[in-house]
């Protein structure tokens, strides 16, 4: 029987021992999605705390050439959530990449996972939620440029506002702040696809080398004062897109080096401590991506006891999509409620309902047909499709495929 936690074996050996499916990824995804909604609940219920950001700016200290904030003791934990999502995505997307025959197939699999559910959520927001709560007349609502621009969400050009919606909420006008991470996820897929077209990604050293080069470039630019990550000390309170891309690439690198990277409990504990310490100062967030990615993969490849979380469906993407719109709706309906924990609980229950509907009516239906859709697209677009080096007759990867589908990361 496979142990719940890795016992020092390599990533590749661990993947073989769990026969391609470890429950740790299931729990991680729903936990991270829940954490995103939890993190936002206080702000969306009570409003942005400007004084908190001001106090963080005032508490900034310098360590050598870098500026570091001194955030609240819990803050680094919250700031690890989105990078962990991207590291998880990078690791699992690599598995999908090695099971794909062509670049068209790989990219289409990503589209099928992200776009259908996003399309339904966007249409529900603009055609149902918006008309019900807008302060505009329906004629003004449907003729407003914000309404006409909102469908761009479906192709990754994220629009956060609908006309006249949530104008009096503590965080006014915003419908879906969590979607800011989707463009970052698409950048990650584009980078992998570019490497594939250049016939580089089949070399197991290429992605790690690109990751190291990206890491050195970001740190060098920061040291020279050309660029510095916007962290909570600057009042932004969000990890930047290039940091998330770096986390994704490190996740990909861990998969590519799976035969050489051991999964050890002491390294996991060290990674947790380092992640916390490095995120304590926002200027060091680049460095934190390595231990965050390692800790994420360690937990993901742990094989905990199965529960209803594993058996009922994968609701994490649905919680990510619907959590904040539902949160804003509840704040709109119950403006007198100042209990943000109650607001979170109500929003979470309702978002799980929408997530279940999304999974069973949209996501699982599309994924059930993905092989047919991909095969048809590869045949139709054959002149434009670059065949991957492992191809249909290539040797199988050393570990069976992980039977889980990665999600776009969020969240923040």
**Residue 400 is assigned to a structural domain of this protein:** no
- Residue 65, pLDDT > 70, answer no
Q: What is the mean pLDDT of residues 217-224?
A: 80
Q: Please name the residues in contact with 248: beta carbons below 8 A apart, sequence gap of 6 or more.
A: 86, 87, 89, 90, 93, 185, 188
**Residue 395 is assigned to a structural domain of this protein:** no
Tokens of 84: 């962990």
Strand, coil or helix: what is 104? helix
- Residue 285, pLDDT > 90, answer no
Residue closest to 156 by CA, chosen among 114, 96, 103, 113? 114
Going by pLDDT thresholds of 50, 70 and 90, the confidence category of residue 9 is: very high
pLDDT of residue 409: 39
Q: Residue 102: beta bridge partners? A: 387
pLDDT of residue 233: 37
**Residue 142 is assigned to a structural domain of this protein:** yes
Strand, coil or helix: what is 387? strand
State CA 398 to chain mean position distance.
Answer: 26
Q: Name the residue with tokens 């409990």.
A: 265
**Residue 399 is assigned to a structural domain of this protein:** no
Q: Please name the residues in contact with 269: beta carbons below 8 A apart, sequence gap of 6 or more.
A: none
Quote the radius of gyration of the chain (alpha carbons, Å): 21
d(CA 122, CA 158): 10
Q: What is the mean pLDDT of residues 305-333?
A: 93
Going by pLDDT thresholds of 50, 70 and 90, the confidence category of residue 97 is: confident
Residue closest to 350 by CA, chosen among 387, 372, 324, 378? 324
Tokens of 109: 């699999």
Residue closest to 325 by CA, chosen among 303, 298, 355, 304? 355
Residue closest to 148 by CA, chosen among 122, 186, 114, 118? 122
Alpha helices in 150-264 (DSSP H): 181-197, 206-223, 241-256
Q: State the DSSP string of 28-72.
A: HHHHHHHHHHHHHHHHHHH---HHHHHHHHHT-EEETTEEE----
Q: Domain span at residue 352?
A: 11-384
Tokens of 320: 């990510």
- Residue 329, pLDDT > 90, answer yes
- Between 52-61, 177-186, 258-267, the lowest mean confidence (pLDDT) is in 52-61
How many helices (H) and strands (E) are present in the chain, helices listed first?
Answer: 19, 2
pLDDT of residue 104: 87
Which residue did the predictor score with more confidence, 49 or 88?
A: 88
CA distances from 381 to 105, 178, 372, 375, 390 (A): 10, 33, 14, 10, 19
Q: What is the mean pLDDT of residues 329-358?
A: 96
Compute φ and ψ for 339, nearest 5 degrees.
-95, 100
If you ran DSSP here, which 8-state letter would residue 281 be given?
A: S
If you ran DSSP here, which 8-state letter would residue 363 be given?
A: I
d(CA 80, CA 383): 42
Q: Please name the residues in contact with 341: beta carbons below 8 A apart, sequence gap of 6 or more.
A: 41
Going by pLDDT thresholds of 50, 70 and 90, the confidence category of residue 2 is: low
Which residue did the predictor score with more confidence, 119 or 197?
A: 119
d(CA 155, CA 111): 9
Residue range 295-315, pLDDT digits in tens = 999 999 998 888 888 888 899
pLDDT of residue 342: 95
- Between 29-33, 114-118, 197-201, the lowest mean confidence (pLDDT) is in 197-201
d(CA 42, CA 345): 12
Counting residues of the chain whose pLDDT is more than 90, the rounded percentage is 54
pLDDT of residue 410: 35
Cα dihedral 186→190→191→192 (10° resolution): 100
Going by pLDDT thresholds of 50, 70 and 90, the confidence category of residue 279 is: confident
Q: Residue 63: beta bridge partners? A: 66
Q: What is the average pLDDT score of the chain?
A: 83
d(CA 253, CA 289): 12
- Residue 13, pLDDT > 70, answer yes
**Residue 410 is assigned to a structural domain of this protein:** no
In terms of phi and psi (left: phi > 0; alpha: psi -120 to 50; beta: otherwise), the region of 154 is: alpha
Which residue did the predictor score with more confidence, 267 or 52?
A: 267
pTM here is 0.85
d(CA 138, CA 162): 12
**Residue 319 is assigned to a structural domain of this protein:** yes
Cα dihedral 128→124→43→317 (10° resolution): 160
**Residue 412 is assigned to a structural domain of this protein:** no
Residue range 119-135, pLDDT digits in tens = 999 999 999 999 999 99
Please give the tally of structural domains in the chain.
1
**Residue 44 is assigned to a structural domain of this protein:** yes
pLDDT of residue 399: 41
pLDDT of residue 405: 36
């Amino acid at each position: 029987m496979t142990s719940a936690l890795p016992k020092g074996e390599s990533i590749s050996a661990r993947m073989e021992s769990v026969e391609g499916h470890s429950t740790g990824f299931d729990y991680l995804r729903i936990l991270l999605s829940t954490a995103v909604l939890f993190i936002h609940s206080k702000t969306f219920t009570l409003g942005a705390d400007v004084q908190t950001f001001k106090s963080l700016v005032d508490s900034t200290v310098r360590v050598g050439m870098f500026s570091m904030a001194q955030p609240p003791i819990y803050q680094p934990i919250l700031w690890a959530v989105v990078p962990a999502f991207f590291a998880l995505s990078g690791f699992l997307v690599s598995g999908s990449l090695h099971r794909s025959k062509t670049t068209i197939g790989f990219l289409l699999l990503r589209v099928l996972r992200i776009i259908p559910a996003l399309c339904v959520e966007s249409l529900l927001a603009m055609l149902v939620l918006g008309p019900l709560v807008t302060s505009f007349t329906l004629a003004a609502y449907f003729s407003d440029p914000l309404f006409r621009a909102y469908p761009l969400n479906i192709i990754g050009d994220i629009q956060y506002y609908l006309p006249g919606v949530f104008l009096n909420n503590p965080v006014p006008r915003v419908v879906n702040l969590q979607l800011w991470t989707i463009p970052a996820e698409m950048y990650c897929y584009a980078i992998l696809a570019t490497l594939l077209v250049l016939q580089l990604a089949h070399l197991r050293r290429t992605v790690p080398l690109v990751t190291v080069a990206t890491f050195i470039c970001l740190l060098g630019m920061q040291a020279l004062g050309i660029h510095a990550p916007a962290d909570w000390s600057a009042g932004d309170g969000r990890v930047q897109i290039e940091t998330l891309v770096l986390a994704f690439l490190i996740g990909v690198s861990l998969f590519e080096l799976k035969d050489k990277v051991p999964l050890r409990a002491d390294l996991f504990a060290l990674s947790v401590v380092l992640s916390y310490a490095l995120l304590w100062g926002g200027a060091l967030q680049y460095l934190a991506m390595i231990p965050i990615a390692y800790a994420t993969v360690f937990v993901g490849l742990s094989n905990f006891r199965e529960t209803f979380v594993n058996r009922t469906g994968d609701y994490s993407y649905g919680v990510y999509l619907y959590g904040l719109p539902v949160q804003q709706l509840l704040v709109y309906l119950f403006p007198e409620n100042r209990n943000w924990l109650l607001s979170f609980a109500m929003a979470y229950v309702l978002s799980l309902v929408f997530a279940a509907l999304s999974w069973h009516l949209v996501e699982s239906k599309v994924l059930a047909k993905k092989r047919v859709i991909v095969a048809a697209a590869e045949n139709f677009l054959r002149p434009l499709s670059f065949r991957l080096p492992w191809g249909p007759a290539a040797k199988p990867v050393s570990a069976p495929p992980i039977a889980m589908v990665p999600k776009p990361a969020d969240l923040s």
